[in-house]
Chain A
Amino acid sequence: MANPNITETSFRPAHMDPAANEKISRPSLSFGKDVMRRLINNKGALIGAIIIALLILMAIIGPHMNKYGIDDQDLTRANMPPKIGVLSNIHWLPFDGVDKNGIDQYKAKNVKGNFWMGTDNFGRDQWTRIWSGTRISLFIALVAALIDLIIGVSYGGISAYYGGRVDNIMQRIIEVIMGIPNLVVIILAIIVLKPGIASIIIAMVLTGWTSMARIVRGQVLKLKNAEYVLASRTLGASNSRLITKHLIPNTMGQIIITTMFTIPNAIFFEAFLSFIGLGIKAPNASLGSLINDGFAAMQSFPFQVLYPSIIICILLISFNMLGDGFRDAFDPKQRR
């Protein structure tokens, strides 16, 4: 039934502005911005990124925060338990300079000064050694990941882009390399090259690049047949333009994800090698070699193995969380 109060005069035509119709109400998000937004919303990834930044900062400034050098040996202060000035009166914290038998080693040995993370069996300051060890571990991992990236991207890119016989031969080579257990190659390479920073990096790169090459190849193969690449080619774009403007930017997501997982893997392998005695040689230290040294004295001085272990675990957990975050950010469908 019609309401008598509502007449035709109650209505007014809506105001129409052709310009407002076309207005974009929200800022347009590029793919990169979208990824960043998802990454920042991911708490785990954000915490991981912050912790990694802090650890990198500590790896840079940590060794210079006290007066002890990385190789300042002094047997009168060997195996001192950790002591931090302000925390030394809180007895349930392990920073009061008291060893596991309840003896204040700093009084007993008449040692001046505090060692924040204790000393090793040569009396070297663990704080300095742990942070310079972190620095070396990070350096090895980052360089190895970078070289993997360069070799992997060029190999995979060339293989997929040119296709045909080139691709066939290059893929057969990769199949054989991937069939060799990387552990065996790494250990043999280090035995031959003599342990050291450079040989660890070389050994890890020898087999490490293959997974990156495979991923890049798969991605490029997929993109190569995409319509917009065909369109660009039809318009006369050169090979190098196609590669730099279309293929590489669209493969970037996969490349970043792979690199984010290569880094913790490299940190792990470095620690692993140092732990079986094929890593960094004294007086330099890496987290792995510190753990190896501390492990020998674990029963008497557990703090020597504890602190480097904690640092390396935090580092690996943070990198893995950040890597997971990147994966979810680049491909929200593939949440694991």
Chain B
Amino acid sequence: MIRYTFERLCYMVVTFFVIVTLTFLSMQLLPGTPYRNAAKMTKEQIAVLNETYGLNQPVPIQFVKYITNMFHGNLGYSFQYDGRSVTQILSEKFPISIELGIEAIIIGVVIGLLLGIIAGIKRNTIWDYTSMIIAVLGISIPSFIFAALLQYWFAVKYQIFPVAYWDGPINRILPAFSLSTIVIATVGRFMRTEMVEVLQSDYITTAEAKGLTTMQVIFKHSIRNALIPVITILGPLFVNIITGSLVIEKIFAIPGIGEQFVTSIYTNDYPMIMGTTIIYSSMFIFIVFIVDVLYGVIDPRIRLAGGK
């Protein structure tokens, strides 16, 4: 187990360095200038700015400097917000995105499990078909289209919920729900398969034979056993949530890192793009690492095969 975890840890570090290097190099290749009023500035002004931000130094030196600073928690200074550091801006926005993501995961897992359990128990009935139609729709319809439609109907047309921003709990409902659709669909579908499989197994027959009520069989035996494999799909779901948050935050004007990332792309704010990319990648790599280790805990075959 320790060897397996260590191996995963090494991959994590290598991947992280590849990402940082790739991001840095692509920033060097970017067209355009990063400054806001570049067209109006004189050559001397640009030279002074380049000096301040260290852009006049050779690329390898910039790279080494960036890496060193990164380990001290300094991701550079934003070109667009005067004098504010990337770390400062991102640390303000990070909790908002995390909160939205966690809310979406909770909503999605709860509704998804309910749908899947009902569909699995009442197999081939109208309940099953309805749940599976919801699942196909949830997997197929992009979250941003869903978000746009929800926003139009519930916020613009009937004005039940606020259109945008991030003030009170009521602002959370629409974005968290639109972000959770893919989770609902994936979890629901997966849970249904697992339930169907578990309900056909011998120990369920035994449980029924020894006189347990249907409720006891479902809660004590079926659901618990069906839940274990669901852990395996949580990793990809987190990734989907991260992707979705980019557009959902844009649609609902939520001041999170997703919205910040999109804005930085428009404004060529190199340090911001790099900072956000590194934050995103770290979250992603960390989640993959956790899920890999969990797999190893659950399934000894993976651990013993050395993760191949």
Q: Tell me the bound Cα distance from A119 to B280 in angstroms.
A: 39
Q: Tell me the bound Cα distance from A11 to B29 in angstroms.
A: 95
Q: Tell me the bound Cα distance from A324 to B139 in angstroms.
A: 12
- B30 A291 Cβ-Cβ under 8 A: no
In the assembled complex, B221 has its CB within 8 A of some CB on chain A? no
In the assembled complex, A264 has its CB within 8 A of some CB on chain B? yes
In the assembled complex, A313 has its CB within 8 A of some CB on chain B? yes
- A272 B265 Cβ-Cβ under 8 A: no
In the complex with contacts A179-B288, A181-B239, A320-B140, A192-B30 CB distance below 8 A: yes
Q: B residues bordering A, Cβ < 8 Å?
A: 11-12, 14-15, 18-19, 22-23, 26, 29-31, 136-137, 139-142, 144-145, 148-149, 151-152, 156, 189-190, 193, 239, 242-243, 246-247, 250-251, 261-262, 265-266, 273, 277, 280-281, 284-285, 288, 308
Q: Which of A171, A192, A276, A299 contacts B26 (CB 8 A)?
A: A192
Q: Tell me the bound Cα distance from A122 to B104 in angstroms.
A: 38
- A179 B265 Cβ-Cβ under 8 A: no
Q: Which of A179, A191, A264 contacts B12 (CB 8 A)?
A: A179
- B265 A313 Cβ-Cβ under 8 A: no
- A276 B247 Cβ-Cβ under 8 A: yes
Q: How many residues of A contact B (CB 8 A)?
A: 40
- A312 B142 Cβ-Cβ under 8 A: yes
Q: Which of B141, B250, B262, B280 contacts A184 (CB 8 A)?
A: B280
Report B239 CB to chain A, min CB distance, Å. 7
Q: Tell me the bound Cα distance from A173 to B250 in angstroms.
A: 34
Q: Which of B136, B151, B266 contacts A277 (CB 8 A)?
A: B266
- B242 A291 Cβ-Cβ under 8 A: no
- List 10 additional A-B contacts (Cβ < 8 Å) besides A179-B288, A277-B265, A313-B141: A176-B18, A179-B11, A180-B15, A180-B22, A185-B22, A192-B26, A291-B148, A295-B251, A313-B140, A317-B140
Contact with B along A149-177 (1 / 0, CB 8 A): 00000000000000000000001000110
Report B174 CB to chain A, min CB distance, Å. 14
Q: Tell me the bound Cα distance from A5 to B285 in angstroms.
A: 87
- B152 A181 Cβ-Cβ under 8 A: no
Q: Cβ of A132: which chain B residues have Cβ within 8 Å of it?
A: none
Q: Tell me the bound Cα distance from A185 to B277 in angstroms.
A: 9
- A305 B193 Cβ-Cβ under 8 A: no
Q: Tell me the bound Cα distance from A9 to B251 in angstroms.
A: 91
Q: Which of B156, B262, B266 contacts A298 (CB 8 A)?
A: B156
- B145 A309 Cβ-Cβ under 8 A: yes
- B31 A194 Cβ-Cβ under 8 A: yes
Contact with B along A108-120 (1 / 0, CB 8 A): 0000000000000
- Can you name the residue of chain A whose Cβ is closest to the Cβ of B29? A192
Q: Cβ of A183: which chain B residues have Cβ within 8 Å of it?
A: 239, 242-243, 246, 280
CB < 8 Å A-B pair total: 110
Report B261 CB to chain A, min CB distance, Å. 8
Q: Which of B30, B136, B193, B247 contacts A321 (CB 8 A)?
A: B136
- A184 B277 Cβ-Cβ under 8 A: yes
In the assembled complex, A188 has its CB within 8 A of some CB on chain B? yes
- A175 B247 Cβ-Cβ under 8 A: no
Report A51 CB to chain B, min CB distance, Å. 12
In the assembled complex, A204 has its CB within 8 A of some CB on chain B? no
Contact with B along A273-316 (1 / 0, CB 8 A): 00111100000000000010001001100100100010011001
Q: Which of B145, B250, B284 contacts A276 (CB 8 A)?
A: B250
- Can you name the residue of chain B whose Cβ is closest to the Cβ of A271? B142
- 6 contacts across the A-B interface (CB closer than 8 A): A180-B15, A184-B284, A187-B265, A191-B30, A271-B144, A321-B136
- Can you name the residue of chain A whose Cβ is closest to the Cβ of B18? A176
In the assembled complex, A23 has its CB within 8 A of some CB on chain B? no
Q: Tell me the bound Cα distance from A264 to B151 in angstroms.
A: 24
Counting chain B CB atoms within 10 Å of each CB, the highest count among A179, A187, A309 belongs to A179
Q: Tell me the bound Cα distance from A108 to B308 in angstroms.
A: 69
- B19 A298 Cβ-Cβ under 8 A: no
Q: Tell me the bound Cα distance from A321 to B277 in angstroms.
A: 34
Q: Cβ of B15: which chain A residues have Cβ within 8 Å of it?
A: 176, 179-180
Q: Tell me the bound Cα distance from A271 to B146 in angstroms.
A: 13
- A336 B193 Cβ-Cβ under 8 A: yes
Q: Cβ of B243: which chain A residues have Cβ within 8 Å of it?
A: 183, 272
Q: Tell me the bound Cα distance from A271 to B18 in angstroms.
A: 28
Q: Tell me the bound Cα distance from A298 to B149 in angstroms.
A: 9
Q: Which of B29, B137, B145, B281 contacts A291 (CB 8 A)?
A: B145
Q: Cβ of B141: which chain A residues have Cβ within 8 Å of it?
A: 313, 316-317
- A336 B12 Cβ-Cβ under 8 A: no
- A317 B136 Cβ-Cβ under 8 A: yes
Enumerate the 7 nearest inter-chain pairs by beta-carbon distance, A residue then B residue, closest first: A179-B15, A316-B140, A181-B284, A317-B140, A188-B26, A309-B145, A192-B29
Counting chain B CB atoms within 10 Å of each CB, the highest count among A188, A275, A312, A321 belongs to A188
Q: Tell me the bound Cα distance from A282 to B246 in angstroms.
A: 23
- A272 B247 Cβ-Cβ under 8 A: yes
- B139 A278 Cβ-Cβ under 8 A: no
In the assembled complex, A12 has its CB within 8 A of some CB on chain B? no
In the complex with contacts A272-B142, A276-B265, A191-B26 CB distance below 8 A: yes
In the assembled complex, A268 has its CB within 8 A of some CB on chain B? yes
Q: Tell me the bound Cα distance from A268 to B140 in angstroms.
A: 9
Report A212 CB to chain B, min CB distance, Å. 16
Q: Tell me the bound Cα distance from A33 to B142 in angstroms.
A: 34
Report A319 CB to chain B, min CB distance, Å. 8
Q: Cβ of B239: which chain A residues have Cβ within 8 Å of it?
A: 181, 183
- B308 A171 Cβ-Cβ under 8 A: yes
Q: Which of B144, B151, B152, B285 contacts A272 (CB 8 A)?
A: B144
